[in-house]
Structure 1
Amino acid sequence: MVAEGARNDRTAGADEGAEATSEGVTPEAVDPKVAAAVAAAEAAGPQNGETVRIDSWIWSVRLVKTRSMGAAACRGGHVRVNGERVKPSHSVRVGDEVRVRVETRERVVVVKRLIRKRVGAPVAVQCYVDNSPPPPPRGPPPRRPCAR
């Protein structure tokens, strides 16, 4: 009976999600797991007036793999905030445009939410607006040589 109750809860949640979507709420905000993760990230984030370091923020929203890689990118001049190269300790604010060059691609994002802790990808996407150019197209796959 527990399995049936759990299944009924899931189907009821799906119906609520359909109603919320028709009212104009995004599906990401309706998903209870994503909503809980967003709430946890905001609770662990800075309070009013506090700031977040740029190296920590780009790591938290998954633009770089580690915080030390974020700091190294800043020291190497690969991170710009509002068009200026910044140090790893630079404070980021909501509305700042952040450009990060990772490997061969440049990511251009606008900060929507400040967070300090690393979060999952669905939550991270809600913390910025991605204005990055599309990645370069991949070439055709390499041809295999004939075995004659």
Structure 2
Amino acid sequence: MRIDKYLWCVRYYKTRSIATTACKKGHVRINNEVVKPSRDVYPQDTIELRKDQINYKLKVNDLPESRVGAKLVDIYRTDITPKEQFEAQELLKYSKDYYRKKGVGRPTKKDRRDIDDFTTENE
């Protein structure tokens, strides 16, 4: 089975074209080799992929016939992603909140109505 189809079947990407694009950009590796979308996947292969600033690692257990439901994904792959990757994502989320406070920036609808009321009263 092709790597782009496998990643789509086990629900790492929403469409096959997105999976193909990720392979072309070099975000997907099999056994530490950057691969093309047409590369075949076999059981016991180790796949590394970068998605949403997380480096996922998974081991192929079996090959599905077609796209599987979310509950059945664990039959076909084993997720061996280190926990540090997910913790780093949480820290990144908090750092974004630090730089831009909520409510700062563009006016909300209420702010806009208040501004409009204020400017129409002065005319």
Shift of 1:59: 0.5
**1:128 correspondence with 2:105:** no
1:78 and 2:27 matched:
yes
Q: Which amino acid aligns with 1:112?
A: N
The one-letter code of the counterpart of 1:91 is D
TM-score (norm 2): 0.69
**Alignment root-mean-square deviation, CA:** 1.8
Structure 1 segments of 4+ aligned residues over 4 angstroms from their partners: 140-145
> Structure 2, unaligned stretches of length 5 or more?
104-123
Report the Cα distance in structure 2 between the residues aligned to 1:90 and 1:132, rounded to whole angstroms. Answer: 22
Aligned-partner residue type, residue 115 of structure 1: P
Q: Give the whole-Å Cα distance in 2 for the aligned partners of 1:116 and 1:91.
A: 14
Q: Deviation at 1:65? A: 1.3
Confirm whether residue 107 of structure 1 aligns to residue 62 of structure 2.
no
Deviations 1:66-113 (A, max 9, x none): 110110011000000000000000000000000111121111000001
Q: 1:139 aligns with which of 90, 94, 97?
A: 94
Counterpart amino acid of residue 61 in structure 2: K
Q: 1:119 aligns with which of 42, 65, 68?
A: 68
How far the C-alpha of 1:119 sits from its partner, in A, is: 1.0
TM-score normalised according to structure 1 size: 0.58
Larger Rg: 2
Residue identity opposite 2:10 in structure 1:
V
Match runs of 1:62-101 below 5 Å: 62-101=11-50
- The offset of 1:144, in angstroms, is 5.7
Identity value in percent: 35
* DSSP 3-state at the match of 2:50: strand
Aligned counterparts of 1:144 and 1:55: Cα–Cα separation in 2: 39
The answer (yes or no) to whether the contact 1:57–1:116 under 8 Å persists in 2 is no
Segments of structure 1 that go 5 or more residues without pairing to the other structure are 1-51
